[in-house]
Amino acid sequence: MDFTSFLIQILNALQYGLLLFLVASGLTLVFGIMGIINLAHGSFYMIGAYLAFALTSLTGNLMLAIVLGIPLAFGFGALLEKLLFVHLYKRDHLQQVLLTYGLILIFEELRSLTVGDDVHGVAIPDLFSASIALSDNLSYPVYRLVISVVCIALAVGLWWLMQRTRLGMMIRAGSFNREMVQSLGVNIDLLYRTVFALGVALAALAGMLAAPISSVYPGMGGNVLIISFVVVVIGGIGSVWGALVAALLVGFADTFGTILLPELAGLAVYLLMAVVLLWRPEGIFRKG
């Protein structure tokens, strides 16, 4: 492999890892703060991608679709928390698994009923449709770079939100001791709803950004869900920083696993997880 194609693969691994981070960060926050295992998190990624498809056909522009889609996803998440997830906080993991598995079935069928089971493409906005030439016959699409930049900006924003704002402080405090935060006068129900909706919006945004690259297809939520679980297991539940490192590791393992061991393409990520389990069963950055 020459240097240019090596560089392209590194950029691909980064972009894939950063996108995974968007999905996994919401998952790990909801796990860590509310103690909820949410199998339907992959569905939010799928819903985001289909939202991008529907809104792009409506408005004619992906960027406009994303701007419209984020508040929709956030509102959807808040509604879902108010109607269903609020009942799960005191239930055991098994019932959480059960209810969120039921939600997956419902979301998949609603998708099939409204959009159908065909694969759809989403056009890259004209502004980013160019490619950067790296050598005579190799180039790198601008849109993938844009995804990486957006994800990095969001990661910094998330860090700032969690560490430097009052909301982030309340979220961190709430994950340690719910009752104490409540008795200090914080509206913990509203706080939980915000965190959950934020997680939904992040997963949906990842789906919207990925839609032009991966296209939009049935079952896309399931793959992302399982890989995000791997990310959370490697990074440690509740750790946003861990999710970032783990997502990048998974991105590199998957990209270079496919190149170096094409026969076992799907396995590299899981082998990485197995190694981490032997080394640190609670994840690399487990808190508390």
Partner 1 sequence: MNPRVVLSFKLAVLAGLVLFPAIGSSFYVELVAKILVMSIFAMSLALLVGFTGLVSLGHAAYFGIAAYTVALIAPEYEAANLWFVLAASVLAAGAAAFFIGLFVLRTKGIYFIMVTLAFAQMAYYIFHDTALGRSSDGIYLNVKPDASLFGWMPFNLDEPLHLYYFILAAMVAVFVLLAFVLRSPFGRVLAGIHSNEHRMKSLGYATQRYKLAAFTLAGALAGVAGFLYAVLFGFVTPDYLSWHQSGNVLLMVILGGLGSLAGAVAGAFAFIGLQEMFSDWTKHWQLLMGLVIVAAVLFMPSGLAGLPRRIFRTVNWGEDDE
Residues lying near partner 1 in the complex (CB under 8 A):
31, 35, 37, 39, 84, 87, 91, 93-95, 97-99, 101-106, 108-110, 112-113, 222, 226, 229-230, 232-233, 237, 263-267, 270-271, 273-274, 277-278, 281-283
- Please tell me the distance from the alpha carbon of residue 62 to that of residue 60, in angstroms, as a whole number: 7
Strand 139-141 and strand 131-133: the pairing is antiparallel
* CB of residue 286 to partner 1, shortest distance in Å: 10
Of 27 and 204, nearer to partner 1 (C-beta) is: 27
* CB of residue 249 to partner 1, shortest distance in Å: 14
* CB of residue 33 to partner 1, shortest distance in Å: 13
Of 105 and 156, nearer to partner 1 (C-beta) is: 105
| List of long-range contacts for 253-262, beta carbons under 8 Å, 24+ apart | 254/13, 254/16, 254/227, 255/9, 255/12, 255/13, 255/16, 256/9, 256/13, 259/1, 259/9
* CB of residue 172 to partner 1, shortest distance in Å: 19
Of 35 and 168, nearer to partner 1 (C-beta) is: 35
Of 109 and 126, nearer to partner 1 (C-beta) is: 109
Of 184 and 261, nearer to partner 1 (C-beta) is: 261
What's the length of the chain? 288
Residues linked to residue 141 through DSSP beta bridges, in sequence order: 131
Contact assessment for residue 219 and residue 269, using Cβ atoms and an 8 Å cutoff: no
* CB of residue 153 to partner 1, shortest distance in Å: 28
Place of tokens 């009052």: 166
Contact assessment for residue 13 and residue 254, using Cβ atoms and an 8 Å cutoff: yes
Cα 284 to chain center, whole Å?
19
SS3 133: strand
Q: Tokens for 224?
A: 């992302």
- In this structure, the number of other CB atoms found within 10 A of the CB of residue 204 comes to 31
* CB of residue 106 to partner 1, shortest distance in Å: 4
Place of tokens 């103690």: 35
* CB of residue 101 to partner 1, shortest distance in Å: 5
Of 210 and 272, nearer to partner 1 (C-beta) is: 272
Of 86 and 145, nearer to partner 1 (C-beta) is: 86
